């Protein structure tokens, strides 16, 4: 269901201007102010709700800071809870494009919901900027209004393979996915990369993300002689899988993509995810580097009482990118789209420039290892197949 501007304002710690939009009341905007809002789409409730909430929170911080400096013409932020469900997201997409005040969308969070909704956004001419949907095929559909400010799985999966082969020397692996568009694509890309590196893929299978019992998969893993498990999927099934493998005495290194990046993975594993590896084309927002990243983390902590994580810093950049377009006078969907085509914006995470497909130009993939406290600690980075440790 779509959250109304009033409901959003009531359910987040924010001044009304952050979520109400400058068109929410005639008294809230000065003469000549164009009422515009930024849409956010992602899971805010359900098993993967934390993935979207951290990102939406980052967007709120960006909008709040902008509105503090532009009180005469604030920008709205309207959140749409997709629950990570592509079919549900399609209905929300119809609502989003029907709202003339929404001039750009930040999100969607997942690849599946992005694939399902982009035709609607494309037809309506609504610029879309995702900072977490990493399926490489998304930029191969001929869409003009799709933009992505992180590297895709075509770089992420090989980066995980690079780390396993170059840092850990693995020779025989299992590759498992959770049947999602994101998970299966990532796992398929990893399996191909392993094969290219001469690593044997002894097991290639899938698990049901709605199941809580993976004994058949665990049994197949036992005695298989694998020295690593690559998982393509998200936090809930991933947490269950790593817990059940550890309970069965399987100690092979466990690695997955950015769908496992966040506290839900650790929590769902019952702590069994300690030592697991996660790749991400995103920074660890809880371990900032440099004054601008430190300022973002401080603002996030002050506002929400917790460290940011997941792709929070990247969503902060995505939202600020739209806000910069608005600040410079681009207040329609068409104007923002044209501005994005030639943008060269220095974000908090990286310099943002798009190629003709809407892909970010140049983005490293980081490798993190989960600590006993659930923290994500960088142990390496991969750029163009080259591993730098630490």
Alpha carbon distance, N-terminus to C-terminus of the chain: 43
Beta carbons of 230 and 164 less than 8 angstroms apart: yes
User: Among 1.10.287.3510, 2.40.10.10, 3.40.640.10, 3.40.50.2300, what is the CATH number of 154-280+365-389?
Assistant: 3.40.50.2300
Same fold, 5-152+286-352 and 154-280+365-389: yes
Beta carbons of 44 and 54 less than 8 angstroms apart: no
CA distance 259 to 273: 14
Residue 5 reports pLDDT greater than 80: no
> Which residues, in sequence order, are CB contacts of 3 under 8 Å at separation 6+?
11, 78, 79, 80, 81
- The lowest-confidence range among 8-17, 176-185, 282-291 is 8-17
- The lowest-confidence range among 71-85, 201-215, 258-272, 342-356 is 258-272
Q: What is the predicted pLDDT for the residue at 53?
A: 94
Q: What is the predicted pLDDT for the residue at 304?
A: 96
Tell me the pLDDT tens digit for each residue of 282-338.
888 888 889 999 999 999 999 999 988 778 999 999 999 999 999 999 999 999 999
Confidence of residue 367 (pLDDT cuts 50, 70, 90): very high
Confidence of residue 50 (pLDDT cuts 50, 70, 90): confident
pLDDT above 70 as % of the chain? 92
Q: What is the predicted pLDDT for the residue at 15?
A: 30
Confidence of residue 1 (pLDDT cuts 50, 70, 90): very low
CA atoms within a 13 Å half-sphere pointing along the CA-CB vector of 177 = 16
Beta carbons of 341 and 135 less than 8 angstroms apart: no
Q: What is the predicted pLDDT for the residue at 153?
A: 83
- What's the gap between Cα 102 and its chain centre? 21
Tell me the pLDDT tens digit for each residue of 222-261.
989 999 999 999 999 999 999 999 999 999 999 999 889 8
Q: Where are the domains of the chain?
A: 5-152+286-352, 154-280+365-389
Confidence of residue 6 (pLDDT cuts 50, 70, 90): very low
Confidence of residue 134 (pLDDT cuts 50, 70, 90): confident
Average pLDDT of the chain to the nearest whole number:
90
For the CA atoms of 12, 15, 18, 22, what is the dihedral angle to 10 degrees?
A: 130
- The lowest-confidence range among 62-66, 105-109, 263-267 is 263-267
pLDDT above 90 as % of the chain? 77
Residue 11 reports pLDDT greater than 80: no
Tell me the pLDDT tens digit for each residue of 139-177.
999 999 999 999 888 889 999 999 999 999 999 999 999
Q: What is the predicted pLDDT for the residue at 26?
A: 31
Residue 21 reports pLDDT greater than 60: no
Residue 24 reports pLDDT greater than 90: no
Burial class (CB in 10 A: 0-12, 13-18, 19+), 34: middle
Q: Indicate the pTM of the whole model.
A: 0.76
Q: How much is the average pLDDT of 256-275? A: 91
Helix (H, G, I), strand (E, B) or coil at 202: strand
Q: What is the predicted pLDDT for the residue at 119?
A: 98
Q: What is the predicted pLDDT for the residue at 31?
A: 56
> Which residues, in sequence order, are CB contacts of 266 under 8 Å at separation 6+?
239, 273, 274, 370, 374
Closest CA to 201 of 232, 244, 180: 232
Residue 79 reports pLDDT greater than 80: yes
Q: What is the predicted pLDDT for the residue at 287?
A: 86
Q: What is the predicted pLDDT for the residue at 204?
A: 98
Q: What is the predicted pLDDT for the residue at 126?
A: 98
Burial class (CB in 10 A: 0-12, 13-18, 19+), 220: middle
Q: What is the predicted pLDDT for the residue at 310?
A: 74
Confidence of residue 27 (pLDDT cuts 50, 70, 90): very low
Fold of 5-152+286-352: Rossmann fold (3.40.50)
Residue 20 reports pLDDT greater than 90: no
């Amino acid at each position: 269901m779509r959250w109304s501007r009033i409901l959003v304002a009531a359910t987040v710690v924010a001044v009304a201007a952050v979520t109400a939009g400058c068109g929410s009341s005639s008294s809230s905007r000065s003469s000549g102010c164009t009422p515009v809002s930024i849409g956010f789409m992602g899971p805010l409730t359900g098993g993967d709700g934390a993935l979207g909430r951290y990102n939406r929170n980052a967007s709120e911080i960006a909008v709040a800071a902008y509105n503090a400096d532009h009180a005469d013409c604030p920008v709205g932020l309207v959140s749409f809870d997709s629950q990570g469900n592509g079919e549900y997201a399609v209905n929300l997409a119809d609502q989003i494009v029907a709202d003339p005040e929404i001039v750009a969308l930040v999100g969607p969070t997942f690849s599946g919901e992005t694939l399902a909704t982009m035709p609607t956004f494309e037809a309506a001419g609504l610029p879309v900027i995702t900072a977490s949907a990493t399926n490489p095929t998304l930029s191969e559909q001929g869409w003009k209004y799709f933009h992505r400010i992180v590297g895709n799985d075509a770089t992420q999966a090989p980066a995980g393979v690079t780390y396993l082969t170059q840092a850990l020397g693995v020779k025989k692996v299992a590759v498992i996915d959770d049947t999602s568009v994101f998970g299966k694509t990532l796992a398929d890309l990893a399996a191909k990369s392993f094969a290219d590196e001469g690593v044997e893929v002894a097991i290639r299978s899938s698990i049901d993300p709605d199941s809580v019992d993976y004994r058949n998969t665990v049994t197949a893993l036992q005695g298989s002689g694998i020295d690593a498990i690559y998982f393509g999927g998200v936090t809930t099934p991933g947490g269950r899988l790593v817990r059940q493998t550890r309970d069965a005495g399987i100690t092979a290194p466990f690695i997955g993509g950015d769908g496992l990046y966040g506290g839900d993975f650790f929590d769902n594993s019952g702590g069994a995810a300690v030592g697991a590896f996660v790749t991400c084309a995103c920074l660890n927002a809880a371990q900032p580097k440099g004054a601008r990243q430190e300022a973002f983390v401080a603002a996030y902590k002050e506002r929400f009482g917790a460290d940011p994580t997941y792709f929070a810093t990247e969503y902060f950049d995505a939202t600020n990118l739209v806000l910069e377009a608005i600040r410079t006078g681009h207040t329609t969907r068409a104007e923002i789209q044209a501005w994005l085509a030639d943008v060269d914006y220095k974000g908090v995470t990286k310099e943002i420039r798009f190629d003709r497909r809407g892909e970010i130009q140049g983005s490293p993939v980081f490798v993190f290892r989960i600590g006993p406290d659930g923290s994500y600690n960088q142990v390496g980075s991969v750029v163009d197949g080259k591993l730098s440790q630490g």
